[in-house]
Amino acid sequence: MTIERMISSDTHVIEPPQLWTERLDAPLRDRAPRVVLQDGQQWWICEGQRGLSFAGGAQTGDRFVAPERLRTAATFEEVRPGGYIPRLCIEDNEADGIWGSVLYPTEGLLLYAQADEALLNACCRAYNDWLAEFCSEDPSRLKGVAMLNTDDVDMAVEEMERARRLGLSGAMIPTAARPESRYDDPRYERLWAAAQDLELPLSLHLGANRVGATGVDKNMAKIRPTYFVVCELWVKESLADLIFSGVFDRYPRLKIGSVEHELGWIPFFLDRLDYTYTQRQGNANYYRYQTAEVPSDFFKRNVFCSFQDDALGIRERHGIGLDNLMFGSDYPHTESTFPRSREIMSDRLADVPPAEREKIVFGNAAMLYGFER
């Protein structure tokens, strides 16, 4: 069995070096994220804080053929052009078995670590404008996910509505919120209501943690490998806050997803949610559900899960919720399944019935983001 056609629910763009310096209005333009040369390599710098280099877009597929060449820094000139030229993005992904792609930022993920609210808001708007232009190459195959800053909920809703008018198909919010404003806070009610009314899925993407969030180190340049082993910590906290506070009870059509955190942790997470709700009522104040029996019911109804390569999660697909699962190639990043996505997923799904396989690699993402089937 060889899979012929997929949708990638997690593809990335590589932001051009002038994106923010050209698009931000004065006086913020002088503070915009910019690219600087350090020791022969290029790095993003914003407000004195170093972000990513371009290695994530410069060594696509090298882990399969030349792992000895992998590195942490590169220049924009080395980036695979499909990372920033939409037609080449479509061509690369089509060669990899990917018919349509849901698009996320790269450096934009780390901008959530910027403390200045006004600067982050401006960066989100500029990126969303650029992404809408990128997707206009072929809106039937490129579905963009807008960046949102949720510090000011009214402004976040306004930008979400604008993103929808621009033609974007989803929105990304910080995966880890600040301690004083986690997602069980009533201040977000208007955000949840607007996302439901706009039918705009909200994403919690790996790495998009707000500055000040508990346990988050804003200096990604010194990140430990431990981060990638326990990175689902923050998405688990946010999803648990959403579920226990009854957000999905009040907004039953709201869709919020875990993106690039893989799947294997989810069955135990659901078990703990249900145990806590049913067996620990005396230890805390609990919202009591009106439209479901236990927390895992909401997870299976309202939470989508984008994964890259997780054989364990696929084996546990029914416990997670088959209608929640959707493959994402992570193109053009270093850890992407490109150019072997078809081969990898054909192997991982070899024992999965055809109807279930189609949901995971195509149908679920098509329904969520409005791809033509």
Kindly report, residue by residue over 249-291, the tens digit of the pLDDT. 999 999 999 999 999 999 999 999 999 999 987 766 678 899 9
Residue from 293, 203, 206, 201 nearest 251 by CA: 201
pLDDT band at 18 (very low <50, low <70, confident <90, very high): very high
Q: Is 322 a residue whose pLDDT tops 80?
A: yes
Determine the pLDDT at residue 284. 62
Which segments of 167-316 does DSSP mark as H helices, in order?
A: 189-198, 226-229, 232-244, 247-250, 266-279, 295-302, 311-315
The pLDDT of 34-52, averaged and rounded, is 94
The pLDDT of 75-94, averaged and rounded, is 98
Determine the pLDDT at residue 209. 94
Contact 330, 260 (CB under 8 A): yes
Share of the chain above pLDDT 90, in %: 87
Length of the chain: 373
Place of tokens 């709201």: 254
β 34-38/41-46 pair status: antiparallel
Q: Is 215 a residue whose pLDDT tops 70?
A: no
Interval 92-112: pLDDT, tens:
999 999 999 999 999 999 999
Determine the pLDDT at residue 5. 95
Determine the pLDDT at residue 220. 54
The phi-psi region of residue 74 (left if phi > 0; otherwise alpha if psi is between -120 and 50; otherwise beta) is beta
Interval 355-373: pLDDT, tens:
999 999 999 999 999 998 7
Determine the pLDDT at residue 203. 98
Determine the pLDDT at residue 135. 98
Contact 366, 7 (CB under 8 A): yes
Determine the pLDDT at residue 242. 98
3-state secondary structure of 171: strand
All domains of the chain, ordered by start, with CATH? 6-369 (3.20.20.140)
Q: pTM of the entire structure?
A: 0.96
Determine the pLDDT at residue 218. 54
- Angle (nearest 5°) at CA 116 between 110 and 118: 105
pLDDT band at 4 (very low <50, low <70, confident <90, very high): confident
What kind and span of H or E run contains 162?
Answer: helix 153-166
DSSP letter for each residue of 234-249: HHHHHHHHHHHTTHHH
Determine the pLDDT at residue 221. 53
d(CA 361, CA 3): 9
pLDDT band at 212 (very low <50, low <70, confident <90, very high): confident
Cα→Cα distances 88→53, 74, 83, 155, 348, Å: 21, 20, 8, 34, 27
Determine the pLDDT at residue 283. 64
Q: Is 47 a residue whose pLDDT tops 70?
A: yes
Interval 291-309: pLDDT, tens:
999 999 999 999 999 999 9
Q: Is 228 a residue whose pLDDT tops 80?
A: no
For 205-226, letters b (16+ CB in 10 Å) and e give bbbbbbbebeebebebeeeeee
The pLDDT of 229-239, averaged and rounded, is 89
Q: Average pLDDT of the chain? A: 94
- Of 16-20, 27-31, 222-226, 244-248, the least confident: 222-226
